[in-house]
């Protein structure tokens, strides 16, 4: 074969490969579109989707008319805090009633719901390419499932910058590491969300220890020397920081802090060299194994995890979406923004093991470390 023939052969082969790839893409696109249309039509016939939801309940209820207008499916909202929602589901299961289509809450309640047998694998229920494409999520190379069986999908991923300061009392650069809290000038000037109960304070301490950000000796020294104040009153702690009663707040809840900041309080978050842990506790979704409206459930979850649905969820809570293609400026609480180049870690490599096995062990440790301050 002469040179001209070789070139012709290569061109033909490349053309065939390109055509094959194009046909594969067209076929894949036709398949998901056909499945989506089939699911939509079946969901419309089912008429409604029953969503059991905690934090997002008011927003989901408010958005229900828009969802019905877009998809022809009513949204029925059952609300309650995580523990209330799981107890309601447990009662319904015992009565043989399967009323929930979708459950949407935090890590702990959702793993409890999974353990009760309410949920089922959800990976085969995600249809939209904008949902199934890993590159559109912060994880980039995989979808951010929190369990190996793929029952539960977290749709927030926001850093917990646990140290907040009154900027009138703490100079720029004065706190660049957790170790800086041991400085003499902060004695009697630190208020800490009580870590001896499940909540933001416990999550911060236990996650730091687990990831070797800090160690037990750090907390023992802190408790012994710094006259730290513990509190469970979320709003009061934010007010104390804003008014300058305390210079430093640790693990204070983002909502009250954001409210104070928006009102003009001289409060800011500190980025420390050890990094921050990523949380998605406010938003984990699963589909019920015996959903009475299974197709409507799939429509709801695919919408929730789409760009449109995540924009809705992010605006509702000000927590940063786990997607990386959602506008954030002027929407997301500054504490909840992922920043390029900042170091992040997660509570545990196995969230399910953490919730089912490790939490109680670490709670006992934290109670021991902060024992002298508890109830003071």
Residues 245 and 328 reside in one and the same domain:
no
Residue 286 lies inside a defined structural domain of this protein: yes
Ramachandran area for residue 116 (φ above 0: left; ψ -120 to 50: alpha; else beta): alpha
Closest among 348, 78, 109 to 206, alpha carbons compared = 348
Strands of the chain (E only): list them.
48-53, 74-79, 102-105, 153-154, 158-160, 163-166, 190-193, 229-231, 248-250, 267-269, 276-279, 284-287, 344-346
> b vs e for 275-297, b when ≥16 Cβ sit within 10 Å of the residue's Cβ?
bbbbbbbbbbbbbbeebbbbbbb
Closest among 254, 279, 257 to 159, alpha carbons compared = 279
Q: Does pLDDT of 22 surpass 60?
A: no
What CATH number is given to the structural domain containing 364? 3.40.190.10
Residues 105 and 206 reside in one and the same domain:
no
Closest among 158, 160, 222, 159 to 191, alpha carbons compared = 222
C-alpha to C-alpha distance for 144 and 322, rounded to whole angstroms: 8
The model's confidence at residue 301, banded by pLDDT at 50, 70 and 90, is very high
Residues 301 and 253 reside in one and the same domain:
no
171-185 tens-digit pLDDT:
999 999 999 999 999
Residues 223 and 325 reside in one and the same domain:
no
Residue 276 lies inside a defined structural domain of this protein: no
45-86 tens-digit pLDDT:
999 999 999 989 999 999 999 999 999 999 999 998 888 999
Question: And the tokens for 284?
Answer: 């984990």
pLDDT value at residue 266: 96
Q: Does pLDDT of 342 surpass 90?
A: no
Residues 147 and 166 reside in one and the same domain:
no
Residues 169 and 133 reside in one and the same domain:
no
C-alpha to C-alpha distance for 64 and 95, rounded to whole angstroms: 28
C-alpha to C-alpha distance for 202 and 205, rounded to whole angstroms: 5
Q: Does pLDDT of 321 surpass 90?
A: yes
C-alpha to C-alpha distance for 146 and 1, rounded to whole angstroms: 57
Q: What is the pTM of this model?
A: 0.76
Residue 321 lies inside a defined structural domain of this protein: yes
Residue 350 lies inside a defined structural domain of this protein: no
pLDDT value at residue 278: 85
C-alpha to C-alpha distance for 121 and 119, rounded to whole angstroms: 7
The model's confidence at residue 253, banded by pLDDT at 50, 70 and 90, is confident
Domain count, the chain: 2
Q: Which is more confident, 348 or 174?
A: 174
C-alpha to C-alpha distance for 92 and 98, rounded to whole angstroms: 7
Q: What is the mean pLDDT of residues 209-225?
A: 94
Residue 1 lies inside a defined structural domain of this protein: no
**pLDDT above 70: percentage of residues in the chain:** 89
Residues 20 and 117 reside in one and the same domain:
yes
C-alpha to C-alpha distance for 207 and 346, rounded to whole angstroms: 8
Q: What is the mean pLDDT of residues 268-285?
A: 88
Residue 344 lies inside a defined structural domain of this protein: no
Residues 151 and 53 reside in one and the same domain:
yes
pLDDT value at residue 25: 43
The model's confidence at residue 20, banded by pLDDT at 50, 70 and 90, is very low
CB 50 within 8 A of CB 293: yes
Residue 33 lies inside a defined structural domain of this protein: yes
Q: Which is more confident, 67 or 93?
A: 67
Residues 223 and 148 reside in one and the same domain:
no
For the chain, what is the mean pLDDT?
89
Q: Which residues pair with 153 in a beta bridge?
A: 285
C-alpha to C-alpha distance for 133 and 323, rounded to whole angstroms: 10
The model's confidence at residue 140, banded by pLDDT at 50, 70 and 90, is confident
Residues 291 and 145 reside in one and the same domain:
yes
Q: Does pLDDT of 293 surpass 50?
A: yes
Residue 105 lies inside a defined structural domain of this protein: yes
- Structural domain range at position 213: 162-270+356-373
Residues 174 and 323 reside in one and the same domain:
no
Q: Which is more confident, 237 or 354?
A: 237
Residues 107 and 195 reside in one and the same domain:
no
Question: And the tokens for 102?
Answer: 């979708």
* CB neighbours of residue 264 within 10 Å: 8
């Amino acid at each position: 074969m002469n040179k001209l023939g070789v070139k012709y052969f290569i061109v033909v082969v490349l053309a065939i490969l390109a055509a094959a790839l194009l046909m594969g893409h067209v076929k894949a696109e036709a398949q998901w579109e056909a499945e989506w249309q089939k699911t939509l039509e079946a969901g419309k016939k089912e008429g409604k989707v029953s969503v059991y939801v905690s934090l997002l309940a008011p927003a989901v209820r408010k958005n229900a008319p828009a969802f019905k207008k877009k998809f022809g499916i009513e949204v029925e909202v059952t609300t309650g805090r995580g523990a209330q929602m799981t107890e309601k589901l447990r009662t319904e299961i015992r009565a043989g009633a399967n009323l929930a289509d979708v459950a949407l809450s935090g890590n702990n309640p959702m793993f409890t719901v999974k353990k009760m047998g309410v949920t089922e694998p959800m990976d085969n229920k995600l249809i939209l390419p904008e949902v199934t494409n890993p590159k559109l999520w912060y994880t980039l190379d995989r979808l951010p499932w929190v369990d190996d069986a793929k029952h539960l999908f977290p749709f927030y991923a926001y850093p917990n910058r646990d140290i907040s300061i009154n900027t009138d009392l703490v100079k720029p650069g004065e706190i660049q590491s957790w170790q800086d809290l041991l400085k003499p000038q902060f004695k009697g000037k630190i208020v800490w969300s009580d870590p001896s109960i499940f909540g933001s304070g416990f999550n911060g301490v236990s996650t730091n220890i687990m990831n070797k950000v800090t160690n037990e000796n750090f907390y023992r020294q802190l408790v012994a020397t710094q006259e730290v104040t513990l509190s469970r009153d979320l709003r009061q702690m934010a007010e104390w920081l804003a008014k300058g009663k305390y210079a430093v707040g640790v693990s204070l809840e983002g909502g009250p802090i954001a409210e104070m900041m928006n009102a003009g309080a001289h409060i800011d978050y500190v980025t420390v060299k050890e990094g921050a842990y990523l949380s998605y506790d406010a938003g984990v979704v699963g589909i019920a194994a015996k959903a009475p409206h299974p197709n409507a459930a799939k429509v709801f979850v695919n919408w929730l995890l789409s760009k449109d649905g995540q924009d809705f969820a992010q605006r509702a809570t000000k927590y940063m979406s786990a997607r990386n293609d959602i506008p954030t400026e002027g929407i997301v609480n500054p504490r909840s923004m992922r920043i390029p180049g900042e170091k992040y870690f997660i509570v545990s490599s196995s969230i399910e093991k953490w919730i089912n096995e490790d939490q109680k062990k670490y709670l006992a440790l934290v109670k021991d470390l902060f024992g002298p301050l508890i109830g003071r």
